[in-house]
Chains A and B, each alone.
Chain A
């Protein structure tokens, strides 16, 4: 080689060496890492993504459920109840539901949630979560490990709203609006919060999933919502007395059309109420959804059928009332029973509540105007007891022993003791409802006065309490 050729060869070799060196350095620095650390990191990321996907699914369902339950109050219950009253009280009755949507929300956010679900003792929570302190995006694993605590809080809020709204059915057409507001605030704190805490709260006396002393199976609120409100309704009806003219004067619903629409909204909304109580979007939600729907259907047939036999004609009001009765009865059972027992529970509830409303009420003569006790109080009690009978661990393995083996849930599965626990839960609900409601009624009556004057009652709540008329149809343009 000539001198020039050697120089060129050396330069090319140097460049090649430099390029190769760069590649080696690049590999050694981790741009293409070695196989073993790569898999571990990807697995961790995959686990995180799976958990996030589960959370997303659960949270989507839970927020939807919360919206469905709110819809049950407005306009579901508002329409159902207001259709049943006389025209002059339509707005007043709607206002009773609507006001709760506003008032209970504020109460809940300030301190009522904390009293119900904050950690406290067996009977009540605490002020630990005052102003929703500590209730944020992170889940509370005691309640629902895959959704933000705020989702759980807002879902429970919708229950706290509708429960006192049910009581309004008993004092329809004669309660002062101001007195009702005070009554509802006190009732929510004194009756609802403790009962919710006992059945669903951390350390609650009746909490079946968190080791309560008397574990009561109450999936979505048969005792917490329906028994408390229904029995309180009876107390209110007896304390306030009958409407002027009852029972001689005919007071039929001014619009079964409105009631029909309301009842159908209640049925659909109830999927949020019951299936949402699974607090997740998995198969338990499905179970509860199916049981809820089946019970509603069977109960509608039961009530309408009983009417058909007794009166010769099935009424629309009877059909929709029946479906509500079935939904009430399945509320404690929804996430514990199979579909066929759900049909049976519904059928029994339909016939039983029809009897309560058409025979027992007429016989004893109390003016439970919109049948809050007959449907919710009686239906809820029946449902809570039937839950103890038909609950099976195959649907929901809620009871486990110290070795994490699944135990029998209900009587037919072999847990005869459960019926007694259900009865205890029901008895406590009755007790707290009666005592709490009586005390509150007395206090409000002595301070503000509960009932409108006879003149106001004859004029109607719309005009006397709200200065409005529901329908201006007769007024000329």
Chain B
């Protein structure tokens, strides 16, 4: 089982969600986050003083998938989220030791 974490532009959430649902991804968690990679922020002026705002609002998706589905999910995200400009985001993959369904204690890939 692999955890897929994707930080994407806020405006791409709908497209990415739809693309993932189309390839059979059934569960995900969505967070509103702030952050930056190489993308510069912007400057705000408040009462004559300039402040640089370098933590930019982004959307993060997290999902744990059966290994067989991972590459399809990655391609779906790339296709839906890419604009070609700095600030598109990143995808991280990591191994998951166990998954447990709270309702009935089901474990393993069946719990996904």
The residues of A with any CB-CB pair to B shorter than 8 Å are: 247, 250-253, 311, 315, 317, 357-359, 361-362, 371
Is B102 an interface residue, CB under 8 A from the partner? no
24 A-B pairs within 8 Å (CB atoms) are namely A247-B49, A250-B44, A250-B46, A250-B51, A250-B53, A251-B46, A252-B44, A252-B46, A252-B51, A253-B46, A311-B45, A315-B45, A317-B46, A357-B47, A357-B48, A358-B47, A358-B48, A359-B48, A361-B47, A361-B48, A362-B47, A362-B48, A362-B49, A371-B47
Residues 39-71 of B, flagged 1 when their CB comes within 8 A of A and 0 if not, give 000001111110101000000000000000000
Cα A282 to Cα B31 in complex, Å, equals 61
CB-defined contacts of B47 to chain A, threshold 8 Å: 357-358, 361-362, 371
CB-defined contacts of A252 to chain B, threshold 8 Å: 44, 46, 51
CB B110 to nearest CB in A, in angstroms, measures 29
Given contacts A250-B51, A361-B48, 16 further A-B contacts (CB under 8 A): A247-B49, A250-B44, A250-B46, A251-B46, A252-B44, A252-B46, A252-B51, A253-B46, A311-B45, A315-B45, A357-B47, A358-B48, A359-B48, A362-B48, A362-B49, A371-B47
Which B residue's beta carbon lies closest to that of A368?
B47
Cα A473 to Cα B47 in complex, Å, equals 29
Cα A359 to Cα B48 in complex, Å, equals 6
Summed over the interface, the residue pairs from A and B with CB atoms below 8 Å come to a total of 24
CB A374 to nearest CB in B, in angstroms, measures 9
Cα A361 to Cα B48 in complex, Å, equals 8
Which A residue's beta carbon lies closest to that of B52?
A250
- Please indicate which of the listed interface residues A247, A250, A357 has the most CB atoms of chain B within 10 Å of its own CB: A250
Interface size class of B (residues with CB under 8 A): under 10
CB A178 to nearest CB in B, in angstroms, measures 29
CB-defined contacts of B44 to chain A, threshold 8 Å: 250, 252
Cα A253 to Cα B46 in complex, Å, equals 9
Which A residue's beta carbon lies closest to that of B46?
A252
CB-defined contacts of A359 to chain B, threshold 8 Å: 48
Cα A250 to Cα B54 in complex, Å, equals 12
Which A residue's beta carbon lies closest to that of B44?
A252
CB-defined contacts of A362 to chain B, threshold 8 Å: 47-49
CB-defined contacts of B48 to chain A, threshold 8 Å: 357-359, 361-362
CB-defined contacts of A361 to chain B, threshold 8 Å: 47-48
- Please indicate which of the listed interface residues B44, B47, B49 has the most CB atoms of chain A within 10 Å of its own CB: B47
CB-defined contacts of A251 to chain B, threshold 8 Å: 46
Which B residue's beta carbon lies closest to that of A313?
B45
CB-defined contacts of A315 to chain B, threshold 8 Å: 45
CB-defined contacts of B49 to chain A, threshold 8 Å: 247, 362
- 6-60 of chain B: CB within 8 A of chain A: 44-49, 51, 53
Cα A390 to Cα B101 in complex, Å, equals 79
Which B residue's beta carbon lies closest to that of A321?
B47
CB A172 to nearest CB in B, in angstroms, measures 13
CB A134 to nearest CB in B, in angstroms, measures 47
CB A371 to nearest CB in B, in angstroms, measures 7
Cα A215 to Cα B49 in complex, Å, equals 41
Which A residue's beta carbon lies closest to that of B48?
A358
Which B residue's beta carbon lies closest to that of A356?
B48
Pick the 8 closest A-B CB pairs, nearest first. Answer: A358-B48, A250-B51, A362-B48, A311-B45, A252-B46, A357-B47, A362-B49, A359-B48
Cα A58 to Cα B51 in complex, Å, equals 51
Cα A361 to Cα B49 in complex, Å, equals 10
CB-defined contacts of A253 to chain B, threshold 8 Å: 46
Cα A315 to Cα B53 in complex, Å, equals 17
CB B30 to nearest CB in A, in angstroms, measures 16
Cα A12 to Cα B80 in complex, Å, equals 120
CB A125 to nearest CB in B, in angstroms, measures 39
- Please indicate which of the listed interface residues B44, B46, B48, B51 has the most CB atoms of chain A within 10 Å of its own CB: B48
CB B53 to nearest CB in A, in angstroms, measures 7
Cα A251 to Cα B53 in complex, Å, equals 11
CB-defined contacts of B46 to chain A, threshold 8 Å: 250-253, 317
Cα A23 to Cα B45 in complex, Å, equals 94
Cα A150 to Cα B49 in complex, Å, equals 47
Cα A358 to Cα B44 in complex, Å, equals 13
CB A32 to nearest CB in B, in angstroms, measures 80
Which B residue's beta carbon lies closest to that of A363?
B48
CB-defined contacts of B45 to chain A, threshold 8 Å: 311, 315
CB A444 to nearest CB in B, in angstroms, measures 28
CB-defined contacts of A250 to chain B, threshold 8 Å: 44, 46, 51, 53
CB A101 to nearest CB in B, in angstroms, measures 28
Cα A25 to Cα B44 in complex, Å, equals 96
Cα A247 to Cα B47 in complex, Å, equals 11
CB-defined contacts of B53 to chain A, threshold 8 Å: 250
Cα A357 to Cα B46 in complex, Å, equals 10
Which A residue's beta carbon lies closest to that of B45?
A311
Cα A325 to Cα B53 in complex, Å, equals 29
Cα A263 to Cα B101 in complex, Å, equals 53
Which B residue's beta carbon lies closest to that of A369?
B47
Cα A317 to Cα B49 in complex, Å, equals 14
Cα A273 to Cα B48 in complex, Å, equals 30
Cα A362 to Cα B47 in complex, Å, equals 8
CB-defined contacts of A358 to chain B, threshold 8 Å: 47-48
CB B48 to nearest CB in A, in angstroms, measures 3
